[in-house]
Amino acid sequence: MGVTIIRPPLVYGPGVKGNFLALMRAVSRGAPLPLGSLDNRRSLVYIENLVSAVIACLEDSRAVGETYLLSDGEDLSLPEMVRRLGAALGARPRLFRFPRALLRLAGAVSGRREQVARLTDSLRIDSARIRRSLGWTPPFSVEEGFARTAHWFVSCVEPK
């Protein structure tokens, strides 16, 4: 039996939970977000892009024994992610500038150090290896993934 390892970063799409869902709720409700000063970069992968990569690995024997990092191919800062989510949701994000150090202090004081770190730190991966070796490209752009995720959110999570 051959084994292939796929290592995705944050996976988003219909059914998403955790910080991504909380961020969507905040953007949708127009909550003020103290994230405007952040210049972090995050890799993400839309669930259907992940499924596409899994299928590519199952169908191509060159994937056996390999480890692939996987992303949509566009690393976003958190403020950019919020703006794009807002566009997909039809909402105007309310970002304001707040020092990163104070955000981290607030996370420590509130017992949410790890949650704040995941929001404020960078996590970039390079998915060039799977693209080169298998010729895989993500079938959905970040905008398409956000649009489909927003549609699910609006119709199933927070219907108006």
For 15-68, how does the pLDDT look when each residue is reduced to its tens digit (9 = 90+)?
999 889 999 999 999 999 999 999 999 999 999 999 999 999 999 999 999 999
- At 160 the pLDDT is 60
Listed by start position, the domains of the chain span: 5-157
Task: State the Cα–Cα distance between residues 104 and 156, nearest whole angstrom.
Answer: 33
- Do the Cβ atoms of 135 and 59 come closer than 8 Å? no
pTM for the whole thing? 0.91
- At 127 the pLDDT is 96
Mean pLDDT of all residues belonging to the chain:
94
**Torsion from C-alpha of 144, 145, 150, 153, nearest 10 degrees:** 150
Q: What is the pLDDT of residues 64-107, one digit of tens each?
A: 999 999 999 999 999 999 999 999 999 999 999 999 989 999 99
Asked if the 5-157 domain carries CATH number 3.40.309.10, the reply is no
- Do the Cβ atoms of 36 and 134 come closer than 8 Å? no
Task: State the Cα–Cα distance between residues 70 and 68, nearest whole angstrom.
Answer: 6
